[in-house]
């Protein structure tokens, strides 16, 4: 219980267990939906702690009320959670000598959540990656009496972001049930959460747990932090929502730590604030532009604090301000202590990284710093990272730039493109601008920003020449592309599908 309610708690101790339960239950009046879960737990804890004076029937009533609140959450949230079946084609391994070199159909399943009534669905990128066909199973709301009734829709991939492991799918439907996002920054350790999804292909499976940690950074080189939970998550839960007690999306379940392959109580979800930001960009543009403010933030450790006389640990110091960047233009200096971003206190460097990660290009963030004992606030613009290959994606569109045989969107290396590729080794070629998710299974390993110079030893100067050369080949023919990747020439060899 909260410290500021101490006097009320002391007065309640003198009440009988029945009176305590009645008073706690009265607090539930006016709270609708699954928000009752926390309140019911609170109402249950006090009388159960005074079990010596309670009857078994009272215990049963309290637990039944708690159970009913969870049932209500399931009824309201489950229809917006979908099962996703992905069909792919994979090369048969050499172990199967009779079929080596052939392609075989494979399928896998995952979960997703509907976030727009017109059929936009959020899931994990690793669920949809490499797909040839995607089938989405949605609860049939026209037949509420039959809870097992489902409708199946083919889905297309709107966009993918591998950095956050998120993807957006679209099915052609309307008036679908949806779930809303909550503010994941407001999550607290110990809050009760619910995982909904299709683990091992079992649709509409609910598991319950708590928030074990609100911001677990798994890779020090990457800014993304995850929600850690002990709610059991298993293969097939990927892409499904982690819900709060109000049935709102707190995160998207994405991975587990496991020695056995099953759930061991250490699961991770992508925070909803990141999910919402990525979803909006993928829906609008099909890809995500990464921003930068031009600073290197570093955690203050005890030795640094002592050596620099900072008297601040934990804390964050600006270790570097990049020349000609947004932070420099705003007035931030090397050695500044970062106190807050957009009014939220900052104690770890990853919080600075996360704030930039969640901001859109062109946004302005307010950074409070301490400099020589004076607190200052700087307004810093979020700019696109220089030489980003995603700038190329904005120059292409659909079928006119699609090279289906390679699973790429491409364009001729010309005066429009050279500003984004100033260090290209040659003055001709075909630039890989983007990898459309729906054709990614056909991509032999090319990446955005790669330049194709030759096909099977013949020069390729334009997109038209590349298409002509590919049209002369048959499925099963060997192909070797001479490409430039990150300033280095190399061959990409594969069998044409």
Please confirm, yes or no, whether 486 is among the known catalytic residues: no
Paired with 296 in beta bridges are 320
Class of residue 145 by CB neighbours under 10 A (exposed 0-12, middle 13-18, buried 19+): exposed
Q: Is-contact 299 333, C-beta < 8 A?
A: no
Residue 250: phi and psi, rounded to 5, are: -95, -25
Among residues 361, 352, 338, which one has the least CA distance to residue 287? 361
d(CA 435, CA 154): 21
Among residues 229, 223, 280, which one has the least CA distance to residue 254? 229
* DSSP labels, 71-90: HHHHHHHGGGEEEEEEEEEE
What is the maximal distance between C-alpha atoms in the chain? 91
Catalytic residue among 126, 246, 277, 420: 126
Residue 115 CB: number of other CB atoms within 10 A?
22
**Start-to-end Cα distance in the chain:** 63
Please confirm, yes or no, whether 485 is among the known catalytic residues: no
Catalytic residue among 238, 272, 287, 336: 238
Give SS3 for 371: strand
Residue 354: phi and psi, rounded to 5, are: -65, -40
Cis peptide before 479 (omega within 30 of 0): no
d(CA 8, CA 10): 5
- Cα 217 from chain centre: 14
Q: Kindly state the tokens that stand for 170.
A: 């679209």
Element (H, E) at 61: helix 56-77
Residue 370 CB: number of other CB atoms within 10 A?
16
d(CA 66, CA 237): 25
Residue 272: phi and psi, rounded to 5, are: -60, -30
Q: Could you give the angle at the alpha carbon of 447 between the alpha carbons of 443 and 453, nearest 5°? A: 90
Catalytic residue among 165, 368, 420, 450: 165
β strands within 342-401, DSSP E: 344-345, 364-371, 374-381, 383-384
Please confirm, yes or no, whether 96 is among the known catalytic residues: no
Among residues 36, 15, 34, which one has the least CA distance to residue 26? 36
Among residues 414, 394, 113, which one has the least CA distance to residue 270? 113
CB proximity list for 76: less than 8 A, separation 6 or greater: 33, 34, 247
Q: Which residues are catalytic?
A: 126, 165, 238
């Amino acid at each position: 219980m909260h410290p500021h309610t101490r006097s009320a708690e002391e007065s309640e101790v003198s009440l009988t267990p029945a009176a305590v339960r009645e008073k706690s239950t009265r607090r539930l009046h006016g709270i609708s939906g699954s928000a009752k879960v926390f309140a019911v737990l609170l109402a249950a804890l006090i009388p159960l702690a005074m079990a010596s004076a309670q009857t078994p029937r009272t215990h049963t009533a309290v637990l039944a009320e708690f159970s009913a609140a969870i049932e209500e959450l399931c009824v309201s949230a489950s229809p917006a959670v979908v099962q996703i079946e992905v069909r792919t084609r994979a090369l048969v391994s050499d172990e199967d000598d009779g079929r080596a070199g052939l392609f075989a159909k494979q399928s896998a399943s995952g979960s997703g959540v509907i976030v727009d009534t017109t059929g936009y669905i959020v899931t994990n990128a690793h669920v949809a990656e490499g797909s040839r066909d995607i089938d989405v199973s949605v609860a049939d709301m026209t037949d509420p009496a039959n809870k097992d009734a489902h409708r199946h829709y083919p889905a297309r991939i709107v966009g993918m972001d591998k950095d956050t492991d998120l993807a957006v799918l679209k099915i052609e439907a309307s008036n679908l049930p949806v779930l809303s996002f909550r503010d994941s920054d407001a999550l607290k350790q110990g809050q009760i959460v619910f995982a909904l999804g299709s683990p091992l292909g079992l649709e509409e499976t609910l598991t319950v747990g708590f928030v074990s940690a609100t911001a677990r950074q798994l890779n020090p080189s990457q800014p993304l932090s995850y929600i850690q939970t002990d709610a059991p998550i298993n293969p097939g839960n990927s892409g499904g929502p982690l819900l709060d007690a109000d049935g709102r999306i707190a995160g998207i379940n994405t991975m587990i730590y496991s020695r056995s392959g099953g759930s061991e109580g250490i699961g991770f979800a992508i925070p909803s604030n990141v999910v919402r930001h990525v979803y909006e960009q993928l829906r609008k543009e099909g890809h995500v532009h990464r921003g930068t403010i031009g600073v290197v933030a570093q955690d203050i450790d005890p030795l640094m604090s002592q050596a620099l006389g900072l008297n601040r640990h934990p804390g964050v110091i600006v270790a570097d301000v990049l020349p000609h960047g947004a932070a420099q233009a705003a007035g931030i200096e090397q050695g500044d202590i970062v106190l807050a971003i957009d009014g939220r206190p900052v104690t770890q460097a990853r919080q600075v990284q996360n704030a930039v990660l969640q901001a859109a290009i062109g946004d302005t963030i307010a950074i409070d710093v301490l400099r020589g004992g004076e607190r200052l606030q700087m307004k810093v613009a979020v700019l696109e990272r220089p030489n980003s290959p995603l700038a190329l994606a904005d120059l292409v569109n659909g079928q006119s730039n699609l090279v289906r045989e390679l699973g790429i969107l491409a364009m001729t290396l010309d005066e429009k493109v050279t500003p984004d590729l100033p260090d290209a080794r040659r003055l001709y070629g075909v630039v890989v601008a983007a990898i459309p998710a729906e054709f990614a299974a056909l991509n032999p390993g090319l990446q955005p920003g790669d330049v194709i110079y030759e096909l099977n030893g013949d020069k390729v100067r334009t997109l038209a020449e590349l298409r002509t050369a590919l049209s002369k080949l048959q499925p099963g023919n060997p192909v070797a592309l001479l490409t430039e990747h990150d300033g280095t020439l190399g061959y990409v060899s594969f069998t044409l599908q």
